Chains A and B, each alone.
Chain A
Amino acid sequence: MVSLLNTVDTGHEDMIHDAEMDYYGLRLATCSSDNSVKIFDVKNGTQTLSADLKGHYGPVWQVAWSHPKFGNLLASCSYDRKVIIWKESGEWSKVYEYSSHDSSVNSVAWAPHEFGLILACGSSDGSVSILYNSPESGTWEARKIPGAHTIGCNAVSWCPAATPNPAFDSTMKDRQPLVKRLVTGGCDNLVKIWKEDGDRWVEEKKLEVHSDWVRDVAWAPSIGLPRSTIASCSQDRRVVIWTSEDNITWTPYTLHTFDDVVWNVSWSLTGNILAVSGGDNNVSLWRENNEGQWIRIDGKSKEQGQLTGGEQREM
């Protein structure tokens, strides 16, 4: 049921570490060990290279598109300890460079657009930075969570803004103001949830199940259901789905133990399908069935490379 739309030859000279499409699915950004970020216009099975962004001096680990209401903004993070925010206004250019991390920056994520233009970055120096853009002056202000994860932070992900009112209580006089929350995963084998409290970020919850480095975390997008879901994956080859009704008590469910290290989890737009990939070069898709069990929906495992050439994957 999944059909191949495009095969984009990125022309990167080294390994690709991340690829993401923008909000509308019209552009593709890729980043690689060759220190560059490339942007492609993708349309009807064709693609054109629209920009080759050079500014990092080390492998670029991750890219992230902002919500289009802020313009075409792309954030990238690299081994060179920098986070660069690129903007397209006619041409792509660097609008901001953040270099206050002491080690490789492994992950970047834009906050839900309701909060404004905010970027979270996780670094191997153990800290997490949250960069706030002020819309009036266009300046960036950074707040840091020092020592968020001992040894290093590997991934960050935002809680969707539309977190439902957990109390389900109409007697509440006002809707609770939106709370900014972040989930991070790190080398201390922990998944941590952070909450903005005034101008500080405080640790709200520490989720402990993984037995090795947590490689990626992803907070599922919300469609309004009164439930929060987080997926985390780890060096211990497991993917764990965490669910919570109130963001306080979280219940882990081990999705699967894979053959190799799992380093990437990604939720679909409606938050019901999870894409998992890892060191074995396979991608698998998972969905929760009505009994609350997670089942693999893409059938047999397939090597990535075999999917080239318009071949269709059977569901």
Chain B
Amino acid sequence: MATRWSSEYIVAEHRDLQANAMAVDYTGNYVLLAGRRYLAIKNLSEQSDRLHKVARQSKYEVGAAEWNPNPSHKELCALSSNQRVEVLCWHNGDLEQRHSLKSHTRVVSDVNWHRFDPNLLASCSIDTFIHVWDMRDTRRPAQSLSAVAGSTQVRWNRLSSFLLATAHDGDIKLWDQRKGTAPVVYISAHLAKIHGLDWSPLHEDQLATSSQDGTVKLFDITNPRKAEGLFTTTLPVWRARYTPFGEGLVTVVVPQLRRGENSLLLWNINNPSAPVHTFVGHTDVVLEFEWRRVNQDSSDFELITWSRDQSLRIWRIEPFLQKLCGHEPDMDHVLDSQDLIDDLPLSNHDASHNDYQRHRYNENSMAHNLQQLTLDNASVLSEMLSASGRNSLSLSLDGASETTDDSQGGSVLGVGGGGGGRGGSSSMSNGSATRGGSGDSGGEERMPSVRSPTQPKTLQQEFAHINLNVTNVDIDTMDPVGRVCTVTVSANGHVAVLQITFPANYPYNNAPSFQFIQGTSLNPASKSKLQKVLKHTAQQRVRKSRVCLEACLRQLVSSLQQLSLSEDNESKTATFLRMQSQPTPYMDASNMYRSFQDTNVPFPRTSGAKFSGAGALVCFGRAPMTKRFPLHTEMWTPRSLSALGPPGTPTQAFTSVSSFYYQERAQASRVRSRALHTSSRGLVGRMTPTRTTRAAVLIYDASPLFLLHRELGEKYIINCHDVVAMCQRNAAVAASVNRRDLVQAWTTAALAASNPEQDPDDGVPWTHHPFGRSLIESMIAHFANQSDIQTAAMLCCAFSPRTDSPDVNRFKSSLCKSVNLSRLPSGKWWSKPGGSPYHTIHPQDTSLEGWNYPLLKQNRSNSWSDSLEGLKVNEIKEVGFGDTLDIFSSVNEKGMLDEKKTWLYDEYKRAYADILHRWGLLDARAQVMKYMSTGLEVHHGVEFRSECQKCAVVSSTASCPLCKRISLQCVICHISVRGPSNVCLVCGHGGHLLHMQAWFRKETRCPTGCGCSCLIESSSIIEP
């Protein structure tokens, strides 16, 4: 997939026009929109949406429309309508008909102005005639070419003034205007109908055809038997046109189809595997598109498109897009891309002239010059064609002709360097030899393949990524482990077997080494020359830590071809080497989004099911009526996104994910759903149901599949003080939800829990009795294995020792101690801090001496755990209970579970607590978490300390450690607060909760009169 987002910046809708033809004039300012009822001219240089509309009294649609591409007659516009061709003149803001050309006897299918002669217009029709009209005498055609078959397209060559191509179903005929009796070349191009024809603006003999069969082919008319390039898309292609910059091609699908593919695709001619960009935005098929230049200074172009959705869009072609097509606007040597604008509408007349003249001809002298030149060209061409056995060589446009006998192979070097140039890898020498500057750039841009935007990171990756379709290259072995690769390259009768060894830290400034091995048919001089070139290429790439294998291979091919030519002409090699030293520009576009990577992107999921939440199963999928797109005949869903095109051809944007599944009906509904948003067609009622089924997500309650029950979670109780009652209660709860298996489990558990007290004298402790520990443990294990984490965790809670966290312990013991203390004579214990006989550790806080005793006491009675800080809690437990097992086991079932598995049972509890949390049963969760062997997380929040008003001693408890008074006095009733209290966080005043509530119900300030706005201040602390 190419980029989805669009760079369009102007959209104008003209719904009333019902136009199906569009044309942009020479200046690029005026756009003609032509339909059956109206002709409209829009001035693009004006910001408004205003149209100059002319009603048209015709019952026929407009077939084709074109403005005269010559500046001298730029106001002329030709339209085809039924059997006639109308020539209109846009003059002083008015559109008037100048001529009506009548000669065709059937519908005129296409019109095309001559590229150079402003008076000539070609029209073709299915009546089998191609007429050439001269505007100076329009009574009858100036020339009529008779083809046997009806013609659908006619195009003048962009560089040669006599050459004309017409499309007849799947075939192309080329005509020389001077030899009008029969076509000079006949190309059997496609098996299906050809919809579009376009001549290359760069190469006189290059031609692009787009066809119903879903392909675009590039032909070299001098060697028409085989297409030079093949672009495959999934859908029939309506138009394929060369870009005015670089070597690009834009395609659109056939308007008759409503398959939902409304995007324009931009391709780089040298990378037929995938489009480099997608222009997405039109909500219906594109009918026509043309180019214009933004302004004279800018190298930016704009693409103007007209679609069946009746919107006119203008897309800015950013420099990066041009770069993707191999166009380097800033580089001098790419002069020839300026040529392209010769037939391109220009916003500025003068500027265009400069460019125009530089390589083309100024319009006055043009006729003469061209005639002469093209005569040569044409004669060469015809010579070539007539004497097909003999290969002939071209002449350059500068007139410096040069003929070499290319005896090596079947390759014919084309006119103007174009022929060789298109071979991709083989282009360089021919191009530079015959066309100078233009050949340079053409060759260089073509030479490296446009590949990975992401650098392959390892050699293995590089090998995996490498494009094996390099002409004349066979990769024999690839060993990413041994870091060696062997390739055989053959060109022009030479064979080179090259072994490439990659150093360990390749490609980071470490070039691989190249070695020609056995089988190479080169002389030592050539070998060293090639090695030098390869080394140079590799160095350039690895200097930037880039991989170089593919670049080197392509280099090798072209060098080898170069070699055979340069054997008779050494001087050319110098040129060639100079060219190589230029940095390769194509990688600079590497951060652009590209489509070919789709081969690595997995095919999108279109259905799925996820368990989520607390037992829901979320499903989504395609609607039931979806079927695979009939084109895709593979048995299974493809693996990568690139499969959305034909195998191996990553194509367009994501719109096609659905096109993979949806047939026309579904597509139509999608088109309509888009229309809904523009609220234009009033099909709301009809399409809604379709949409519902399409984009629906189904949520199932999958909880019956699990052995978890929310109601049980809600109703279960945990009561470790009376395990028997707890089990019986839970058994009843289980019975209420009809879980008889659980009733049984709980009853058994109740029995196991109740037994020991009945038989205290039994020699064997109950925990070791078969119905004791082992029964409970196997029950827990059973439920856990069944994934009934609920029952397993509940049993764990019931039988695990209720372990209070150390904090709670401390609190409890201190509570009990303070009770004791109150009974003791005051002053006795804290009068001699540290003097206690039990004092085995240092007091933690000397300011709290009075609390040493209870702390010590607790430490002592509750094992020596605190002094062994390194020990973990479960171990403490082990030690602790090991000591006290005998005492407690009969009381609290603490020994029912094996301490060694405490962590496992904790996990069960944690997992169950998590499920309770998901169910929103927070109380139940807290109950379960209380039984975790490890304490809860230590509280890290704010702690409140109180300061005794008399002794000014700070304490963390409610009463003063010295005077034993309760620190907090209610500011309202002045009585010590023993119950719930409330204190202002800012001024520190507070008191009984009820008193404070009552006060602040009416007031906002502190009752003491300290001036503190307690409510506001406190809340600002809590919610910063």
Partner of B604, one of A5, A10, A59: A59
Max chain A Cβ within 10 angstroms of own Cβ: one of B601, B625, B911? B601
Residue pair A152, B601 in contact (C-beta under 8 Å):
yes
A20 to B697, CA, bound (A): 10
**Do A18 and B461 contact each other (CB < 8 Å), given the known contacts A6-B698, A102-B454?**
no
Let me know if A90 is at the binding interface, CB within 8 A: no
Partner of A13, one of B640, B674, B786: B674
- Interface readout for A1-44 with B: 1 if CB under 8 Å, 0 if not? 11111111111111111111111111010101101000000100
Q: Which residues of A contact B905 (CB under 8 A)?
A: 224
Q: Could you say which of A193-201, A244-252, A256-264 contacts chain B?
A: A256-264
Let me know if A146 is at the binding interface, CB within 8 A: yes
Partner of A2, one of B461, B701, B784, B910: B701
Q: Which residues of A contact B626 (CB under 8 A)?
A: 281
Which 4 residue pairs of A and B lie closest in terms of their CB atoms, listed nearest first? A25-B613, A224-B907, A305-B624, A279-B637
Partner of A269, one of B637, B674, B915: B915
A162 to B695, CA, bound (A): 37
A41 to B636, CA, bound (A): 36
Mind listing 26 A-B residue pairs with CB under 8 Å?
A1-B704, A4-B699, A15-B606, A15-B622, A17-B605, A25-B612, A25-B615, A58-B5, A102-B454, A146-B457, A164-B907, A215-B605, A223-B907, A224-B784, A226-B904, A235-B639, A263-B608, A264-B610, A269-B915, A270-B915, A272-B787, A273-B611, A277-B605, A277-B607, A285-B702, A307-B700
Residue pair B706, A18 in contact (C-beta under 8 Å):
no
**Do A9 and B692 contact each other (CB < 8 Å), given the known contacts A20-B610, A154-B602?**
yes
Residue pair A222, B911 in contact (C-beta under 8 Å):
yes
Let me know if A174 is at the binding interface, CB within 8 A: yes
Let me know if B616 is at the binding interface, CB within 8 A: yes
Residue pair A5, B619 in contact (C-beta under 8 Å):
no
Chain B proximity of A104: nearest CB distance (Å): 4
Let me know if B621 is at the binding interface, CB within 8 A: yes
- Shortest Cβ distance from A271 into B: residue: B787
Residue pair B900, A170 in contact (C-beta under 8 Å):
yes
Residue pair A102, B453 in contact (C-beta under 8 Å):
yes
A56 to B147, CA, bound (A): 54
- Interface readout for A144-156 with B: 1 if CB under 8 Å, 0 if not? 0011001110100
- Interface readout for A253-292 with B: 1 if CB under 8 Å, 0 if not? 0000000110110111111110111110111010100000
- Shortest Cβ distance from A187 into B: residue: B600
Q: Which residues of B contact A222 (CB under 8 A)?
A: 907, 911
Let me know if B705 is at the binding interface, CB within 8 A: yes
B652-705, CB < 8 A from A:
654-655, 657-658, 670, 673-674, 691-693, 695-702, 704-705
Q: Could you say which of B174-182, B319-327, B870-878, B955-963 contacts chain A?
A: B870-878
Q: Which residues of B contact A278 (CB under 8 A)?
A: 607, 637
**Do A269 and B918 contact each other (CB < 8 Å), given the known contacts A13-B670, A20-B612, A285-B705?**
yes
**Do A25 and B691 contact each other (CB < 8 Å), given the known contacts A10-B697, A126-B457?**
no
Partner of A225, one of B604, B640, B784, B899: B784
**Do A24 and B700 contact each other (CB < 8 Å), given the known contacts A124-B597, A297-B705?**
no
- Shortest Cβ distance from A313 into B: residue: B700
Q: Which residues of B contact A151 (CB under 8 A)?
A: 461, 464, 600
Let me know if A306 is at the binding interface, CB within 8 A: yes
A272 to B787, CA, bound (A): 6
Partner of B903, one of A6, A104, A165: A165
Let me know if B623 is at the binding interface, CB within 8 A: yes
Let me know if A175 is at the binding interface, CB within 8 A: yes
Residue pair A8, B699 in contact (C-beta under 8 Å):
yes
**Do A261 and B613 contact each other (CB < 8 Å), given the known contacts A175-B903, A270-B787?**
no
Decide if the interface of chain A is mainly helix, strand, loop or mixed. loop
Chain B proximity of A191: nearest CB distance (Å): 15
Residue pair A61, B704 in contact (C-beta under 8 Å):
no
- Interface readout for B425-466 with A: 1 if CB under 8 Å, 0 if not? 000000000000000000000000000011001101100100
Residue pair B604, A17 in contact (C-beta under 8 Å):
yes
A177 to B683, CA, bound (A): 62
B394-426, CB < 8 A from A:
none
Q: Which residues of B contact A89 (CB under 8 A)?
A: none
Let me know if A304 is at the binding interface, CB within 8 A: yes
Let me know if A213 is at the binding interface, CB within 8 A: yes
A7 to B907, CA, bound (A): 35
Q: Which residues of B contact A168 (CB under 8 A)?
A: 900
Let me know if A79 is at the binding interface, CB within 8 A: yes
Residue pair A24, B614 in contact (C-beta under 8 Å):
yes
Let me know if B617 is at the binding interface, CB within 8 A: yes
Residue pair A170, B618 in contact (C-beta under 8 Å):
no
A175 to B876, CA, bound (A): 13
**Do A147 and B604 contact each other (CB < 8 Å), given the known contacts A5-B701, A10-B697?**
no
Chain A proximity of B226: nearest CB distance (Å): 33
Residue pair A4, B597 in contact (C-beta under 8 Å):
no
Q: Which residues of B contact A14 (CB under 8 A)?
A: 654-655, 657-658, 670, 695
Interface size class of A (residues with CB under 8 A): 35 or more
- Interface readout for B978-992 with A: 1 if CB under 8 Å, 0 if not? 000000000000000
Let me know if B353 is at the binding interface, CB within 8 A: no
A61 to B654, CA, bound (A): 12
Q: Which residues of A contact B460 (CB under 8 A)?
A: 150
**Do A5 and B637 contact each other (CB < 8 Å), given the known contacts A150-B461, A270-B789?**
no
Let me know if A300 is at the binding interface, CB within 8 A: no
Number of A-B contacts (CB under 8 A): 319
Let me know if B853 is at the binding interface, CB within 8 A: no
Q: Which residues of B contact A13 (CB under 8 A)?
A: 670, 673-674, 695
Partner of A277, one of B621, B673, B786: B621
Max chain B Cβ within 10 angstroms of own Cβ: one of A162, A164, A304? A304
With A16-B606, A269-B614 known, 9 other A-B pairs at CB within 8 A are A8-B697, A9-B695, A33-B658, A174-B872, A187-B602, A235-B636, A270-B707, A279-B607, A305-B624
- Interface readout for B868-901 with A: 1 if CB under 8 Å, 0 if not? 0011101100100000000000000000000110
Residue pair A283, B609 in contact (C-beta under 8 Å):
yes
Let me know if B708 is at the binding interface, CB within 8 A: yes
**Do A22 and B705 contact each other (CB < 8 Å), given the known contacts A9-B696, A13-B674, A305-B621?**
no
Residue pair B700, A304 in contact (C-beta under 8 Å):
no
A277 to B611, CA, bound (A): 12
Chain A proximity of B425: nearest CB distance (Å): 26
Chain A proximity of B879: nearest CB distance (Å): 12
Q: Which residues of A contact B624 (CB under 8 A)?
A: 303-306
Let me know if B4 is at the binding interface, CB within 8 A: yes
Let me know if A308 is at the binding interface, CB within 8 A: yes
Chain B proximity of A212: nearest CB distance (Å): 7
Let me know if B829 is at the binding interface, CB within 8 A: no
Residue pair A33, B654 in contact (C-beta under 8 Å):
yes
- Shortest Cβ distance from B594 into A: residue: A103
Let me know if A237 is at the binding interface, CB within 8 A: yes
Partner of B609, one of A124, A165, A235, A275: A275
Residue pair A103, B597 in contact (C-beta under 8 Å):
yes
Let me know if A115 is at the binding interface, CB within 8 A: no
A154 to B870, CA, bound (A): 43
Let me know if B620 is at the binding interface, CB within 8 A: yes
- Interface readout for B740-758 with A: 1 if CB under 8 Å, 0 if not? 0000000000000000000
Let me know if B760 is at the binding interface, CB within 8 A: no
Let me know if B806 is at the binding interface, CB within 8 A: no
Residue pair B705, A212 in contact (C-beta under 8 Å):
no
Let me know if B364 is at the binding interface, CB within 8 A: no
Residue pair A213, B920 in contact (C-beta under 8 Å):
no
**Do A58 and B609 contact each other (CB < 8 Å), given the known contacts A103-B597, A162-B907, A223-B784?**
no
Let me know if B30 is at the binding interface, CB within 8 A: no
Let me know if B822 is at the binding interface, CB within 8 A: no
Let me know if B47 is at the binding interface, CB within 8 A: no
**Do A42 and B699 contact each other (CB < 8 Å), given the known contacts A19-B608, A104-B601?**
yes
Let me know if A70 is at the binding interface, CB within 8 A: no
A270 to B396, CA, bound (A): 78
Q: Which residues of B contact A58 (CB under 8 A)?
A: 4-5, 654
